[in-house]
Amino acid sequence: MPKLALNVPLVTAAALALVSCAQPRPAGIPTAPAVIAQAAGALATVLPAATSAPFSPTESRPAAALPTAAPAVRPPEPAPSPSRSLFDLAPGETLELLREIPIARTDFGVRVAFSPVSDVLLHNGNGMRIEQFDLVRGEPLGELTGFEDFPPFTISVSPDGSAVLADDGPEIQVWLSATGEQVAALALAPFSMVINAGFLSDGLFFAVDSNGIGAIWDPGSWGEIYRFNNPGWITAAVPFPDGSALALQDTRKQEISILDLTGNRLGAVPLARAEDRLLSISPTGDRFLLHVDYGYPTEGIRIVDVASGETLLDLPMLNFRQFAVSNDWSLLAAVGVQNELRLYRLPDGQLLLAQPLEVARTLGISMSGDAAYLAFYVFKSGNAGAAIQVWGRGSDRP
């Protein structure tokens, strides 16, 4: 199978100096990922130039004069909690349905997100609102309202769980999780569709639309820090895990553009086919995970080295359409058109589990940050309607 070729335009020192003078970097914005800087040094000769006490001081006494005491009894250490991670499934162990949340049946995409600090699930499965659901108590916690145009395409929770961000047409709405109070409505661009919006590792948050317009905001003041325009047909926008850059898939140019937070172009990785889809970036920022679909037998998951363009893993998965990756890149979950769930170990692609979901149709999949839960938006058999099903290990039953 042909390897992807890398075409990363690298910024020369002189160009960087000019950019720094002409456009001061906003305070608090981190530098580019280390992998991009490493790629610059390794490939500069082959790539075209770019256009970013002591103890007590008392006198010791003879041992015979020291008072005697019974030896201290150390309480037994508590038994370690059983692992929640789906990665630690025992041989022959299967997942169990832990919760089922009935929702309205609709072909419009239902979005699901998990709080990074608690067992709370958020979804927009019942219309123009976001519902928060406590997975331990099995009951709703409250609703986030205020949508005017469409249900959100994206839902994101801040790293500390205190705020929720979602799109409302061309606007970005922000709520406080605990009270449901709407605290900000931020304009991105008129007549556009938000492709992705969320929080970066340092607390800043971002949004990118289908036309390549992006913005960075500070949640401390809800103020806009920077805005950029990278014209194209953007079908995926994924932040680098260290929060220093964004990867934008441009289907028109058939590449993944890499931009710093001010919009300066750091490079680009060409795609072999327009059908490739960027799903995730490794925690170290040096690998892309793509869904590729060229027809049988070349369909599935591909992991590509960012610096060299080399294919590191080809994982054939015919007729699989829904994917979720754990934050640490140890686990890949995939669901096919026959509603079979598969779990793979990364980065080697070893199959850990293959289990039917026993539903009529699966339309979406999400994974919690600790890889303890999988949530599926499903149509149930017959006239049983739709639901969000939450699956996990039996030992972790709420």
CATH of the domain at 242: 2.40.128.630
Residue 295 lies in a domain: yes
Does residue 368 sit in the same domain as residue 306? no
Instruction: Please compute Rg for the chain using Cα positions.
Output: 25
Cβ neighbourhood burial of 190 (10 Å; 0-12, 13-18, 19+): exposed
Lowest mean pLDDT among 45-54, 92-101, 216-225, 353-362: 45-54
SS3 20: helix
- As a whole number of angstroms, the distance between CA 194 and CA 113 comes to 17
- CB of 209 within 8 A of CB of 189? yes
Cα gap 232→347, rounded to integer Å: 31
C-alpha span between 200 and 23 (Å, rounded): 22
Residues 255 and 310 in one domain: yes
Q: For the chain, how many structural domains are there in total?
A: 2
| Average pLDDT value for residue range 178-206 | 89
Q: What is the pLDDT of residue 8?
A: 39
pLDDT digits (tens, 9 = 90+) for 45-54: 333 333 333 3
Q: Considering only CA atoms, which of 375, 371, 370, 369 is closest in space to residue 390?
A: 375
Which of 318, 338, 370 delimits the end of a domain? 318
CA atoms within 13 A on the CB side of 127: 5
Contact 36, 287 (CB under 8 A): no
Tell me how far CA of residue 46 lies from CA of 5, 198, 308, in angstroms: 12, 35, 12
Determine the pLDDT at residue 169: 83
pLDDT at residue 109, rounded to an integer = 76
Q: Is residue 244 part of a domain?
A: yes
Residues 198 and 287 in one domain: yes
Report phi then psi at 37, rounded to 5: -65, -40
The overall longest dimension of the chain from CA atoms, in Å, is 88
* Interatomic CA distance for residues 242 and 284, integer angstroms: 8
pLDDT of residue 53: 39
Average pLDDT over residues 235-253: 95
Determine contact, residues 374/353, Cβ cutoff 8 Å.
no
Measured distance CA(170)–CA(149) in Å, rounded: 9
Same domain, 194 and 310: yes
Mean pLDDT within 341-346: 96
Let me know whether 289 and 375 are in one domain.
no
Res 78: pLDDT: 60
Model confidence pLDDT, tens digit, residues 58-116: 344 344 444 455 556 666 666 556 678 999 999 999 999 999 999 988 877 799 999 99
Would the CA dihedral through 53, 59, 61, 66 be positive or negative?
Answer: negative
- Domain range for 397 is 90-141+319-398
Of 268, 287, 318, which residue constitutes the final position of a domain? 318
Q: Which two tokens stand for residue 311?
A: 């294919």
Say yes or no to pLDDT of 181 above 70: yes
Instruction: Look at residue 8 and tell me if it is in a domain.
Output: yes
Residue 305 covered by a domain: yes
Question: Could you tell me the pLDDT band of residue 150, with boundaries at 50, 70 and 90?
Answer: confident
Q: Is residue 98 part of a domain?
A: yes
Q: What is the pLDDT of residue 68?
A: 52
Task: Give the strand pairing for 205-209 and 194-199.
Answer: antiparallel
Rounded to an integer, the average pLDDT of 233-251 is: 96
- The answer, yes or no, to whether residue 231 has pLDDT greater than 80, is yes
The β-bridge relationship of strands 223-229 and 213-218 is antiparallel
Concatenated DSSP letters of 301-317: EEEEETTT--EEEEEE-
Q: Which H or E run contains 250?
A: strand 245-250
124 and 99 within one domain: yes
Same domain, 275 and 194: yes
In the chain, pLDDT over 90 holds for what percent of residues? 61
Compute the mean pLDDT over every residue in the chain, rounded to the nearest whole number. Answer: 82
Average pLDDT rounded to a whole number, residues 14-18: 34
Residues 306 and 360 in one domain: no
Q: Is the domain of 202 the same as that of 323?
A: no
The answer to whether residue 73 is domain-embedded is no
pLDDT tens profile 367-396: 999 999 999 999 998 888 999 999 999 754
The answer to whether position 77 is within a domain reads: no
Using a pLDDT cut of 70, give the percent of the chain over it.
78
What confidence tier does 254 reach under pLDDT thresholds 50, 70, 90? very high
The token pair at 389 is 């099903």
Tell me how far the alpha carbon of residue 341 is from its chain's centroid.
20
Span of 92-96, 103-107, 165-169, 285-289 with lowest mean pLDDT = 103-107
Task: Supply the pLDDT for residue 69.
Answer: 54
356, 289: one domain: no
Residues 17 and 113 in one domain: no
291 strand-pairing partners: 277, 301
Show which of 293, 318, 343 is a domain's final residue: 318
pTM: 0.78
Contact 104, 386 (CB under 8 A): yes
Indicate whether 14 and 94 sit together in one domain. Answer: no
Within-domain flag for 356: yes
